């Protein structure tokens, strides 16, 4: 079944960027948006969607794929609310930053049919800005698009396979892994960096005030380390709530490492920490062996 229409619920940064990316790659179908009226107007103005509806029931009508591009808490709620009303052949998918709770709700909603009805996904792409005005047709170029299948799900078959072909056309690479493993990995490679940036920026404000010329005098290193501190709490709140155990573990490990460095500023241990850190770049930050990428 060819995908002739896609509904994107949430036409902000990720949803709007996906719509723009499909348009840029000449997707021949129709893209329908669902959001608040002012956001839909922006998404139409940028060309991310062809039409928009504020009511999800209206927005999903006639679509072969429905993409939930909202904060994780809203995704979980929407699965239970609109999932049962979707046509049996419509694929529901998402872009949430955590996957275990999302997949659990999808399984509870679709039962034994979850593998045919739902595809849990997470593109590793974003910006510190949010909203439809920040949407970028090249946002997914070179990014990894994680999928976390239900047990026995064949993600490259049927409508989910067609959808993932569209994802690849946006420039993203597909990688499949278990939902729990995904959440553990992302606690380290995504959620922890965000919290480090947030903590550093907040501490600098405490130390020097809001108007101190820190970014100008600190140079590139400080700008890079604090860039994502501008990310909205509204998105990260749900990430923290749905991945609390893994994030706490990562934060504790980092706290222990920082304490070790603090206590060894005048010993050989500091040099060893630098040497240990250099191994990350020497390794090229290669993908985990647990990832299974699509065979071409």
Let me know if residue 293 belongs to a domain: no
Range of the domain at 92: 5-177
DSSP characters over 11-41: -SHHHHHHHHHHHHTT--SEEEEES-HHHHH
How many whole angstroms from its chain centre is CA 256?
A: 28
Cβ proximity of 197 and 225 under 8 Å: yes
Per-residue pLDDT of the chain (296 residues; tens, 9 = 90+): 589 999 999 999 999 999 999 999 999 999 999 999 999 999 999 999 999 999 999 999 999 999 999 999 999 999 999 999 999 999 999 999 999 999 999 999 999 999 999 999 999 997 666 777 778 999 999 999 999 999 999 999 999 999 999 999 999 999 999 999 999 999 999 999 999 999 999 999 999 988 877 878 888 899 999 999 999 898 899 999 999 999 999 999 999 999 999 999 999 999 999 999 999 877 654 443 334 455 43
Give the CA-trace dihedral at 166, 172, 175, 181, to 10 degrees. -120
Q: Indicate whether 88 and 198 sit together in one domain.
A: no
DSSP characters over the chain: ----EEEEE--SHHHHHHHHHHHHTT--SEEEEES-HHHHHHHHHHTS-SEEESSHHHHTTT-SEEEE-S-HHHHHHHHHHHGGGS-TTPEEEE--S--HHHHHHHHHHHGGGHHHHEE-EEE----S--SGGG--TTTTTT-EEEE-PPTT--TTSHHHHHHHHHHHHTT-EEEE--HHHHHHHHIIIIIHHHHHHHHHHHHHHHHH-TT--HHHHHHHHHHHHHGGGGS-HHHHHHHHHHSHHHHHHHHHHHHHHHHHHHTTTTSHHHHHHHHHHHHHHHTT-PPPTT-EEPP-
The CA distance from 98 to 115, in Å, is: 18
Q: Indicate whether 171 and 217 sit together in one domain.
A: no
Q: How many domains does the chain have?
A: 2
Q: Indicate whether 106 and 192 sit together in one domain.
A: no
| CATH code for the domain of 250 | 1.10.3660.10
What pLDDT is stored for residue 214 in this prediction?
80
Q: Looking at the whole model, is its pTM more than 0.85?
A: yes
CA distances from 121 to 1, 69, 159 (A): 21, 10, 14
What pLDDT is stored for residue 193 in this prediction?
97
Cβ proximity of 149 and 122 under 8 Å: no
Let me know if residue 294 belongs to a domain: no
Q: Indicate whether 171 and 242 sit together in one domain.
A: no
Q: Indicate whether 9 and 103 sit together in one domain.
A: yes
| CATH code for the domain of 130 | 3.40.50.720
């Amino acid at each position: 079944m060819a995908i002739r229409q896609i509904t994107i619920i949430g036409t902000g940064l990720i949803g709007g960027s996906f719509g723009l990316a499909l348009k840029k790659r000449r997707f021949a179908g129709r893209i329908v948006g669902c959001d608040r009226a002012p956001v839909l107007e922006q998404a139409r103005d940028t060309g991310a969607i062809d039409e928009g509806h504020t009511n999800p029931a209206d927005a999903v009508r006639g679509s072969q794929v429905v993409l939930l591009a909202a904060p994780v808490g809203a995704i979980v709620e929407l699965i239970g609310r609109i999932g049962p009303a979707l046509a049996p052949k419509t694929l529901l998918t998402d872009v949430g930053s955590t996957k275990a709770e999302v997949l659990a709700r999808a399984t509870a909603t679709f039962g034994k049919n979850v593998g045919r009805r739902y595809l849990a996904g997470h593109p590793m792409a974003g910006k510190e800005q949010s909203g439809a005005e920040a949407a970028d047709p090249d946002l997914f170029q070179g990014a990894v698009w994680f999928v976390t299948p239900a047990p026995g799900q064949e993600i490259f078959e049927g409508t989910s396979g067609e959808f993932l072909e569209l994802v690849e056309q946006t420039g993203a690479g597909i990688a499949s892994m278990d939902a729990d493993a995904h959440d553990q990995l992302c606690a380290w490679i995504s959620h922890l960096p965000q919290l480090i940036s947030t903590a550093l920026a907040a501490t600098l404000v405490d130390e020097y005030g809001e108007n101190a010329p820190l970014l100008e005098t600190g140079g590139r290193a400080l700008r890079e380390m604090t860039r994502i501190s501008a990310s909205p709490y509204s998105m990260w709140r749900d990430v923290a709530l749905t991945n609390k155990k893994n994030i706490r573990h990562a934060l504790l490990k980092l706290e222990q490492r920082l304490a070790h460095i603090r206590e060894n500023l005048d010993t050989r241990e500091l040099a060893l920490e630098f040497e240990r850190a250099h191994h990350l770049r020497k390794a090229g930050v290669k993908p985990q062996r647990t990832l299974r990428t699509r065979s071409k």
